Amino acid sequence: MTTFDEKLVSVLGKKSADALEAGLGLTTVGELLRHYPRRYDERGKLTEIAGLELGEHVTVQARVKSARQRRMKSRSGELLEAVITDGTSDLHLVFFGRGSRKVERELLPGREAMFAGKVGMFNGKLQLAHPDYQVLDGTDEAGADSSGAGFAGAFIPVYPAAQGIQSWNVSNCVEQVLAVWDGVTEDPLPESLRAARGLIPLEKALRDIHRPDGWAAITVAQQRLKWDEAMAVQLALAQRRRSATARPAPACPPRPGLVRDAFEARLPFELTTGQREVGEQIAHDLSGEHPMNRLLQGEVGSGKTIVALRAMLQVVDAGRQAAMLAPTEVLAAQHARSLRELLGDLGQAGELGGAEHATRVTLLTGSMGAAARKRALLEIVSGEAGIVVGTHALIQDKVEFADLGLVVVDEQHRFGVEQRAALSGRAGGSTPHVLVMTATPIPRTVAMTVYGDLEVSALRELPQGRSPISTSVVPVASKPGWLDRAWQRIHEEVRKGHQVYVVCPRIGDGDSEDDGAEPPKEDPAKGDAVDRRPPLAVVDVANRLAEGPLRGLRIDILHGRMPADDKDAVMRTFAANEVQVLVATTVVEVGVNVPNATVMVIMDADRFGVSQLHQLRGRVGRGSAPGLCLLVTEMPDGTSTMERLRAVESTLDGFELAQLDLELRREGDILGAAQSGRRSGLKMLSLLRDEDVIAEARVVAQEVVEADPELAAHPGLAGLVAGLLDDERAEYLEKA
C-alpha cells in the first residue's frame, strides 16, 4: 500500500529519489504530490520570453529559429549558438564542447522543445548557457520518441525545478507515483466545510492538479488545495492569538501629570489625525492585562517615532521600562539621540537640570567599550533607564531589565523572529506588550498571514512640511551621458549647501559580502550571466568619485563593518554638513534623518528590492528643499528588472509599491524564520490573488479554535497544520 508517508526511494528507486531530495528537498510521496505545477503549457502554445527574469531558473516552451556552429575565439573548440522564439521575442542559447554537434542535429529550425536553465545576459541579450532541453515533436536522431512521458497529453505541467532535476524529470516521477498511490484514507477538511464551500475531495484534487483533462479541472483542483494551505496557516495563527491572550501582561494605564503629559504639552507641532487615532488604540492596549501585539505600518516620514515615544512614555509613567530594538547600530544610535533631543530635560533623570518626573534614555550596542557597557547594564537592571535603545545586544543573556513593560521593534523585516522572542521573555512572570513598526506598507493579505496574530494600524498621511521627491532611472547602457549629468547635478546641490547620499550594494574592503542589503528576491541578478560584473562597492566608488566626477567635494564612507565610534562620528559630521557626499551601503536605509540631504543616488539599483529602493528614497526630501532620487542601472530596456525600476520611478505610494513587491517576490515562504531560503511553505495559495480565500479561512479557523483549541476533535485539520509547518516553522510560530 503506497501512502503519503511512503519514502520516494521505495517507489522511484535511488537515483530519482536522490535527485528529488538534493534538488527540491522532496523525500516522501506526499511531498512530491504537494509539489504542484507552477503553470501548464499547452502543446503548440509557446512561453512568453519577454517576461523572463535575469538570474532565474526557467523552463520555456519555444520554437527553434536558428542554430549554427562556430569556432571559439578565446580558446580552441567549438560552440553552438541557437536562437529560440515565442513568435515575438527571441532568447539566445549557447552550447559548448563536442556535444554541441549532437545538439545541432536535434534543434532543427521550426522544431518545438522545452528548454531549462538559468537566465543570463551576454552583449545586452538574454541568454541560456548550455540549457537542458526536451524536444516536444518528432523524434531524436536515434529515432526514439523524445516527447517525454509527462508530455503525452495536450497539457504539459511545468514544475518548479532546480539544477540537476528539470521539470520533465519531476513530471516523470509524478507519473510513476500516481500509478501506484492508493489515495487518501481520510480527507483533512471536514465534509461540512467542503460541502459549504463546494470543494472537491483531496485525492481528486491531487490527481487533477498533476494530470488535468482541461482548464476547468485545474481551476477546481487549485481552489481545493488553496483551502488546505489557507486553513493550515489560519488555524496556526488562531491558536497563536488564543495563546497570546491567555498570558498575563504588565498593565500600564495612562497616569496624568507625568512625563507623557509634559512631553505632549511641549510638542512644537500638531499631531496628525492618524497619529492621534493610533495613539489611542495603543494606549488602550497598554492598559490591558493581556499583551498588546500591534503592527504599526506607515510611510517613510509618517511620524511613527512620535507614536512609539508616546507609548513608551505611558509605560514609563506606569513605573516600567520600554525597550526599542533597531536593526543596525547606526540606527540604534540615531534613535537614542533623537529620543533624547525630543525629550530634552524630560530625558535627563538624575542629571543637573533634569525635569521633575524625568526618565533616562540608555543606549546599548554590541561594540560599546567595557566601561560604557557596564554603566548601561547597571542603568537597565536598576530601572534607572526608563527607555533602553539597542540592537541585538539587548537580547543577550547578560542583559537584565528591572521591569520590562513594552518592546518596540523598528523595521520588523530586518529582525529575526528568534531575536524578538528572546527579548519578549524578559519581563519576569509576564509577557511585555509588543509594538512592531515598519515603513514598508503591507498588503492586507500579508497582514492576515505573516502578521495574522497582530492587530494592524496604519499611518497614511504625512506630517506637514515634508518636501516632494522626484525619482529618475539613469539607464547607463543606453544613455551613458545621463550619469555624467547626475554628477553635475550633485555639484549643483552641494553649491546650494545641500548634501548627497550615494548607496552601493557592497562594502569592497576585501570582503565579498554585502552589508545587510537584501538581495532582491524578485531578481537575484547574480547568476551565471557571462558578462555580469560584481556589484559596485562603497570603497571603490568613493575613491573613483573623489578622483573623478566629484573631485573637490568632501566625501566620506559609511558601512556596517566600521567600528561603532567611527560610524557615529561619520553620521555626526554628515549631520553637521561637514561631509557633503556620503558613500554608504544600505546601513542608511532606515531611520537615518538628515533634513539637509536632498539627493539619493543608488548605484546598481537593479540589485535592490522594491521596498529597499522606497526606503532609501525616503532618506531625502526630509527638509524644506525637494528631494531627488536617481536609480542608476546597466540593465537594458524591455527586461522585467527595468520595469520594476520604472514602477518605483512612477509612484511615491508605498502601499502601491508593496503590492508590486509582493507580486515580484513570488511571495516566498511566509512562515520561514527570517527568510531562511528554504522552499516555500505555501505552494498554491497566493497572497496576491487569494484574499477572499484567506479572509474566509480566517473566520472558519477562528470558530474552530474557539470550540476546539487543540484540534483534538479535528485530527485532519491538526494534520494539515503539522504538514504545512515543519519543525522550523512550528518553532517560528511558537516564538513569534
* Global confidence as pTM: 0.63
pLDDT beyond 80 at 451 = no
Q: For residue 351, tell me if it sits in a domain.
A: yes
Separation between Cα atoms, residue 507 and residue 6, nearest integer Å: 48
Candidates 321, 625, 596; CA nearest to 470 is: 625
Of the residues 426, 459, 492, which one is the last residue of a structural domain?
Answer: 459
**Which structural domain, as residue segments, surrounds residue 704?**
184-246+689-736
CB of 541 within 8 A of CB of 511? no
134: helix, strand or coil: strand
Q: What is the pLDDT of residues 666-698, one digit of tens each?
A: 444 444 433 333 344 678 888 778 889 999 999
> Which of the given ranges, 241-255, 285-299, 536-550, has the highest pLDDT on average?
536-550
CATH number assigned to the domain comprising residue 419: 3.40.50.300
Candidates 460, 410, 465; CA nearest to 592 is: 410
Separation between Cα atoms, residue 617 and residue 631, nearest integer Å: 10
CB of 5 within 8 A of CB of 28? yes
Residue 722's pLDDT band (cuts 50, 70, 90): confident
Q: What is the pLDDT of residues 201-220, one digit of tens each?
A: 999 999 999 999 889 999 99
Q: For residue 670, tell me if it sits in a domain.
A: no
Q: What is the pLDDT of residues 378-409, one digit of tens each?
A: 999 999 999 999 987 787 667 889 999 999 98
Give pLDDT, residue 508: 75
pLDDT beyond 60 at 78 = yes
60 and 157 share a domain?
Answer: yes
Q: For residue 676, tell me if it sits in a domain.
A: no
Give pLDDT, residue 414: 47
494 and 641 share a domain?
Answer: yes
pLDDT beyond 50 at 528 = no
Q: For residue 25, tell me if it sits in a domain.
A: yes
* 7-to-10, 170, 287 alpha-carbon distances in Å: 6, 16, 53
596 and 637 share a domain?
Answer: yes
Mean pLDDT over the full length of the chain: 83
639 and 514 share a domain?
Answer: yes
Give pLDDT, residue 668: 47
429 and 538 share a domain?
Answer: no
Q: What is the pLDDT of residues 628-668, one digit of tens each?
A: 999 999 988 777 788 889 989 988 877 778 777 766 654 44
Q: Which residues pair with 388 in a beta bridge?
A: 323, 362
CATH number assigned to the domain comprising residue 155: 2.40.50.140
269 and 357 share a domain?
Answer: yes
> Could you write out the DSSP letters of every residue in 460-488?
-SPPTTPPPEEEEEEETTT-THHHHHHHH
- Quick one: what percent of the chain has pLDDT higher than 70? 83
Of the residues 131, 157, 183, which one is the last residue of a structural domain?
Answer: 183
> Any idea which of 106-120, 201-215, 531-545, 585-599 has the lowest mean pLDDT?
585-599
453 and 504 share a domain?
Answer: no
- Quick one: what percent of the chain has pLDDT higher than 90? 42
684: helix, strand or coil: coil
Averaged pLDDT for residues 478-488: 93
300 and 173 share a domain?
Answer: no
Q: For residue 673, tell me if it sits in a domain.
A: no
Residue 540's pLDDT band (cuts 50, 70, 90): very high
Of the residues 432, 459, 486, which one is the last residue of a structural domain?
Answer: 459
Give pLDDT, residue 707: 93
Give pLDDT, residue 512: 45
Q: For residue 429, tell me if it sits in a domain.
A: yes
546 and 633 share a domain?
Answer: yes
Q: For residue 682, tell me if it sits in a domain.
A: no
Separation between Cα atoms, residue 442 and residue 297, nearest integer Å: 7
520 and 400 share a domain?
Answer: no
621 and 701 share a domain?
Answer: no
In sequence order, what are the residues at sequence separation of 6 or more whose Cβ sits closer than 8 angstroms to the Cβ of residue 362?
336, 376, 379, 380, 384, 385, 387, 388, 389
Give pLDDT, residue 377: 93
447 and 496 share a domain?
Answer: no
pLDDT beyond 90 at 75 = no
Averaged pLDDT for residues 710-725: 86
Number of domains within the chain: 4
DSSP 89: -
Averaged pLDDT for residues 489-518: 79
The residue among 240 and 706 whose pLDDT is bigger is 706
Separation between Cα atoms, residue 519 and residue 608, nearest integer Å: 6
